């Protein structure tokens, strides 16, 4: 039998190789969504499936269990590493290799088919494959439940992969606490006199990309370890020395590009800010998607849509395009934060964003439980959207086809956006107390004092702590939705003179 020290060293070296291969697999996905030739979809599906088969084999290697039985941690970080490896080993072992490989293959196909169906306004081209993906994810969820994950609930077993320890009942309770105040605020805002004017005009792609790069730089994005590309649905990819962002261009709506970029910079800066000593270990990643979304949402909203930063943005945008339809900086701030019953989640204002998430959360729970079929999904989506937002969906790309998540199998991901907003609200209150002169920097387009505070209190730790433990440490106490709701009521009450 090998010694405890030898077992620890062998396990860490084995894990290092697995983490490196996982990064390579992630790069395949980035390539597919940015620069891969459109005709390569089927080939990429096979490549992705082959990578997943290899990774699944490594993650379920019996030697991991043997090393875990013998290894003795020499520090709190090693103790945490062993706990995370053990959790991943048990989770991977619960899912049959053939199922994991097929999920990888079908979700790789799914992204391309979804994008084409979205472009053609043709949900009928996508729903048959979505039905296959849903069936595979249901099989995965039941396999996880059989292994003890999710406390007997298939949806919770999937949710646990994105937000360890969270349950749908906890999330539902959180939503129900928030919903009445969000709905009341929305109704008051939409009934208010003097609604802000939209920004008018057309903004060339190159001008938008220059401005997006300036915003990313202002938020501390390290271009020596990142890059920006265009994608149908913006995302970030990678970690440590290679963390990339994407954005999208709508010539009539430059805010789409600007705030998508800032949002993804929040994600990517989290990965760039992790202590390099954690690289190629389970600690070298964001601890959960809720914490990840807290970083993207605080960058995008509390900082990027603040009066201080939008003042800089107004001047910079006006200089780049030779003047704006909104000439006054205060009015521009109101325009940036304009509340409208729009269709698109990623473009939703802060007041209504969580209502978009609540709708998706409820629908995907019904899908996983088998109470809603993909044949009825579009009708259910449209009916729910009309009920929640008072607007009829006009086309599939504004409805059931707008999000990429289900096409790539991310069932259980959506609620982490709202949880991220709650975390962001608590972090913002603590940040403002710690950096009281933050607006002085934001007025110059410089968000680095905020980024540095977040790097010190959140980013550098990676997955060293559990999600709730990390945020509670950063904010100095329990996390509740109150800071977020108070921030929204104060901000939009002032904008709309409520």
Kindly list the catalytic residues.
Answer: 264
Residue 217 bridge partners (DSSP): none
Collapsed DSSP state (helix, strand, coil) of residue 105: helix
Q: CA-CA distance, 246 to 296, in Å (whole number)?
A: 13
Residue 229 bridge partners (DSSP): 246
The answer for residues whose C-beta is within 8 angstroms of residue 324's C-beta and 6 or more apart is 199, 201, 314, 317, 318, 332
Q: CA-CA distance, 489 to 485, in Å (whole number)?
A: 6
Q: Beta strand pairing status for 228-230 and 242-247?
A: parallel
Which of 126-142 are b and which e, b meaning 16 or more Cβ less than 10 Å from the residue's Cβ? bbebbebbbebbbbbbe
Is the dihedral angle over the CA atoms 236, 239, 240, 241 positive or is it negative? negative
Residue linked to tokens 């396999």: 143
Give the count of alpha carbons within 13 A of 79, CB side only.
5
293 is in an annotated binding site: yes
Strands laid side by side in the 242-247 sheet = 228-230, 242-247, 236-239
267 is in an annotated binding site: yes
- Residue 72 burial (CB count, 10 A): 12
Q: CA-CA distance, 23 to 239, in Å (whole number)?
A: 8
Query: What string of DSSP letters covers 182-210?
Result: HHHHHHHHHH-SSPPPPP-S---HHHHHH
- Provide the token pair at 134: 């849903």
Q: CA-CA distance, 81 to 229, in Å (whole number)?
A: 33
- Residue 74 burial (CB count, 10 A): 11
Q: Are 243 and 428 in contact, with CB atoms under 8 Å apart?
A: no
Q: CA-CA distance, 210 to 213, in Å (whole number)?
A: 5
Annotated binding site for Zn(2+): 263, 267, 293
Annotated binding site: 263, 267, 293
């Amino acid at each position: 039998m090998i010694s405890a020290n030898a077992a620890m060293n062998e396990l860490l070296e084995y894990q290092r190789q697995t983490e490196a291969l996982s990064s390579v697999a992630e790069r395949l996905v980035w390539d597919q969504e940015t620069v891969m030739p459109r005709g390569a979809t089927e080939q990429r599906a096979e490549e992705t499936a082959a990578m997943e088969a290899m990774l699944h084999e490594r993650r379920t290697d019996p030697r991991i269990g043997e090393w875990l039985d013998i290894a003795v941690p020499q520090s709190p970080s090693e103790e945490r590493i062993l706990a995370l490896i053990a959790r991943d080993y048990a989770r991977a072992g619960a899912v049959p290799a053939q199922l994991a490989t097929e999920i990888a293959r079908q979700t790789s196909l799914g992204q391309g088919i979804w994008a084409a169906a979205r472009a053609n306004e043709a949900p009928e081209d996508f729903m048959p494959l979505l039905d296959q993906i849903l069936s595979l994810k249901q099989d995965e969820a039941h396999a996880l439940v059989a292994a003890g994950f999710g406390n007997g609930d298939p949806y919770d077993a999937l949710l646990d992969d994105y937000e360890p320890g969270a349950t749908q009942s906890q999330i539902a309770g959180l939503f129900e606490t928030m919903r009445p105040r969000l709905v009341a605020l929305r109704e008051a805002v939409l009934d208010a006199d003097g609604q802000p004017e939209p920004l008018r005009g057309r903004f060339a792609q190159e001008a938008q990309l220059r401005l997006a790069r300036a915003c990313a730089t202002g938020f501390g994005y390290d271009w020596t370890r990142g890059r920006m590309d265009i994608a149908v649905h913006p995302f970030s990819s990678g970690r440590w020395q290679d963390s990339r962002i994407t954005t999208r261009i709508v010539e009539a709506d430059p805010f789409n590009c600007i705030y998508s970029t800032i949002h993804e910079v929040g994600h990517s800066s989290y990965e760039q800010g992790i202590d390099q000593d954690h690289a190629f270990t389970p600690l070298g990643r964001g601890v959960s998607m809720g914490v990840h979304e807290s970083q993207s949402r605080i960058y995008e909203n509390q900082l990027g849509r603040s009066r201080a930063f939008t003042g800089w943005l107004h001047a910079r945008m006006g200089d780049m395009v030779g003047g704006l339809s909104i000439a006054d900086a205060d009015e521009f701030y109101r325009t940036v934060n304009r509340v409208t019953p729009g269709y698109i989640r990623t473009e939703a204002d802060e007041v209504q964003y969580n209502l978009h998430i609540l709708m998706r959360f409820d629908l995907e729970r019904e899908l996983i439980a088998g109470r809603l079929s993909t044949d009825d999904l579009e009708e259910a989506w449209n009916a729910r959207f009309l009920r929640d937002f008072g607007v009829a969906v006009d086309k599939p790309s504004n409805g059931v086809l707008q999000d990429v998540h289900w096409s790539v199998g991310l069932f259980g991901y959506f609620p982490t956006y709202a949880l991220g907003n709650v975390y962001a609200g608590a972090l913002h209150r603590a940040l403002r107390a710690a950096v009281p002169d933050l607006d002085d920097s934001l007025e110059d387009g410089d968000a680095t004092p905020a980024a540095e505070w977040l790097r010190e209190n959140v980013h550098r730790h990676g997955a060293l702590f559990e999600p709730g433990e990390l945020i509670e440490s950063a904010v100095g106490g329990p996390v509740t939705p109150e800071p977020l709701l108070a921030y929204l009521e104060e901000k939009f009450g002032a904008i709309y003179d409520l």
